[in-house]
Amino acid sequence: MRDTSVIPVLKLAGLKRSFKQGTREIHVLAGASAELIPGQAVALVGPSGAGKSTLLHIAGLLETPGEGHVFVNGRDCSRMDDDDRTRVRRTDMGFVYQFHQLLPEFSALENVVLPQMILGTPRKAAEQRARELLSSMGLGERVDHRPAELSGGEQQRTAICRGIANAPKLLLADEPTGNLDPTTSERVFRELIELIHRTGVAALIATHNMDLARRMDRVLRLADGLLVEVEPDKVV
């Protein structure tokens, strides 16, 4: 049972989204609703084409729903203008993708420093936080290496550090271990979950890996345009 005294970091209410395919209208979301609270890792599962990426884009204010509302820390962001949505993304959200999308010309440290400086953090403070984050993910000796000099797991751990560099309340991750071999995937996943619990960020993590989903705090299955909560130990 969710503690109703805690304001959800993310609340999705009755989201609907359709696309035109020729003369056919495809209903991807048909009233999807869910809430995320601080410190929880929530798996988002469902078959390919179910609309997981669309849901993440709407939750991350990168797309607008046809109907419904997205609340971030109690604020209805659904009808905000582009500038306000960008501000919410910068201050309240972090993103991690399947492919790390690090800037190749910058070191691991600089990749984690940059989003902080964009938000206005002084460089010295940004570098200190970046070093702390990278060290906490086992990358203390790799801070000066560029992405091409890092392994796949090191690149993704750097991307996770970048995603939480500005201490977001909400972390949205799309298959964050999907491009890694099983051993590396396990390490990155374990460190990501530890980070979520340690920092208190609310995380929505899309994954096709049911083994990983079962080890998260909650599981939401997207099917027929709706989100249904599934007990982690019953995920198949």
What top-level class would CATH report for the domain 10-230? Answer: alpha beta
21 φ, ψ (degrees, to nearest 5): -130, 95
Residue located via tokens 């609270």: 37
pLDDT number for residue 188: 83
Q: What average pLDDT does this structure show over 141-153?
A: 92
Q: What is the reported pTM?
A: 0.88
Q: What average pLDDT does this structure show over 61-65?
A: 90
Distance between CA atoms of residues 179 and 116, nearest Å: 26
pLDDT, tens digit, 9 for 90 and up, residues 3-44: 556 789 999 999 998 887 777 777 788 899 999 999 999 999
pLDDT number for residue 227: 93
Task: Give me 1's structure tokens.
Answer: 């049972």
Among 45, 41, 75, 70, smallest CA distance to 57 is for: 70
Query: What residue ranges do the domains of the chain occupy?
Result: 10-230
In the chain, pLDDT over 70 holds for what percent of residues? 97
pLDDT at 235 over 90: no
Q: Could you write out the DSSP letters of every residue in 155-205?
A: HHHHHHHHHTTT--SEEEEESTTTTS-HHHHHHHHHHHHHHHHHHT-EEEE
